[in-house]
Amino acid sequence: MTYGNIFLALGDPTRRSVLEALRHQPMTVGMLAKQMPVSRPAVSQHLKILKEAELVTVTPKGASNEYALNRKGLDEIRAWLDSMWDDSLEAFKAHVDQKPENNN
Amino acid sequence: MTYGNIFLALGDPTRRSVLEALRHQPMTVGMLAKQMPVSRPAVSQHLKILKEAELVTVTPKGASNEYALNRKGLDEIRAWLDSMWDDSLEAFKAHVDQKPENNN
DNA sequence: TTTATTGGTAAGTCATGACTTACGGTAATA
DNA sequence: TATTACCGTAAGTCATGACTTACCAATAAA
């Protein structure tokens, strides 16, 4: 279950703040830490988790590392949501289609 | 931030199992607990969190309570995902549209 | 090469939360 | 009414995880 990490990553408010900051433009760790209420190591640890969940990407820029949004992780969440509704509609359809005969 | 509770709720694998079980049909607490590796009180506590996140609804059925999927919570997640992409596209558009003049 | 900037990691603390058993309260049944 | 099923909550335990400071590696500048 690959989206397990993703939901876990999105469960933390600080990590969501990081993602929401990265919506507007890619940022380095220092830039992110400066506008957040936690320390730089904390941000670094969060970024590690976000990276493993494929919610962000890293590209080294000299001495600093630039982080950007990664579409992949968010797409998986969307797929999970879609699957929830597919199955739900299936169940509804089965409910509508049910007939007294042929229920083996 | 209303989706805070929702992401928190979805972060737990047991709660996701509950939701995925409810995709197919509404179920009582006992039915859910029977097909899960945790105790009934644990399921009950999870359902409380899912209910507060508007991911499930409850309807009393005599002595038992029937839980069903609630579209509302999942829709909010979808809206959050959409907002991420809207802003991301905005940023991309701003990047493409940028010209040497008029950058005040 | 020395010095400063950037950032990842280690180690430790502390809060939170995911379980358990025990209990009480309500609705169906005998 | 007495009994049985169903379920929510209280209390307590234990693991996890979100922080901190301290340290180390790598790049950029003096």
Q: Walk me through the domains of chain B, giving residue ranges and CATH numbers.
A: 3-97 (1.10.10.10)
CB B40 within 8 A of CB A59: no
DSSP, residue by residue, A8-73:
HHHTSHHHHHHHHHHTTS-EEHHHHHHTSSS-HHHHHHHHHHHHHTTSEEEEEETTEEEEEE-HHH
Q: What is the per-residue pLDDT for A91?
A: 53
Does A82 contact B at CB distance below 8 Å? no
Chain A neighbors of B88, CB-CB under 8 A: 23, 69
Per-residue pLDDT tens for A6-28?
A: 999 999 999 999 999 999 899 99
Interchain contact A23–B (C-beta under 8 A): yes
Q: What percent of chain B has pLDDT over 90?
A: 72
Q: Which of A3-17, A76-90, B81-95 comes out lowest in average pLDDT?
A: B81-95
Which pLDDT band, with edges at 50, 70 and 90, does B3 fall under?
Answer: confident
Please say if the pLDDT value at position B17 is more than 70.
Answer: yes
pLDDT of residue B60: 95
pLDDT number for residue A95 = 43
Backbone CA torsion sign across A10, A13, A14, A19? positive
Give yes or no for residue A3 having a pLDDT over 50: yes
pLDDT over threshold 50, residue B54 = yes
* Residue matched to tokens 């006992």: B30
Residue B100 has pLDDT above 90, yes or no: no
List residue ranges whose Cβ is under 7 angstroms from nucleic strand C.
A 28-31, 40-41, 44-45, 47-48, 58, 63-65; B 8, 11-14, 38-39, 41-42, 45-46, 49, 62-63
- The pLDDT > 70 percentage for chain B reads 81
C-alpha span between B26 and A9 (Å, rounded): 29
pLDDT digits (tens, 9 = 90+) for A26-83: 999 999 999 999 999 999 999 999 999 999 999 999 999 999 999 999 999 999 999 8
* Closest CA–CA distance from residue A83 to any residue of chain B (Å): 9
Instruction: Check residue B16 and give its pLDDT.
Output: 97
Nucleotides of C under 7 A from a protein CB: 4-11, 17-22, 26-28
**Residues in a beta bridge with A78:** none
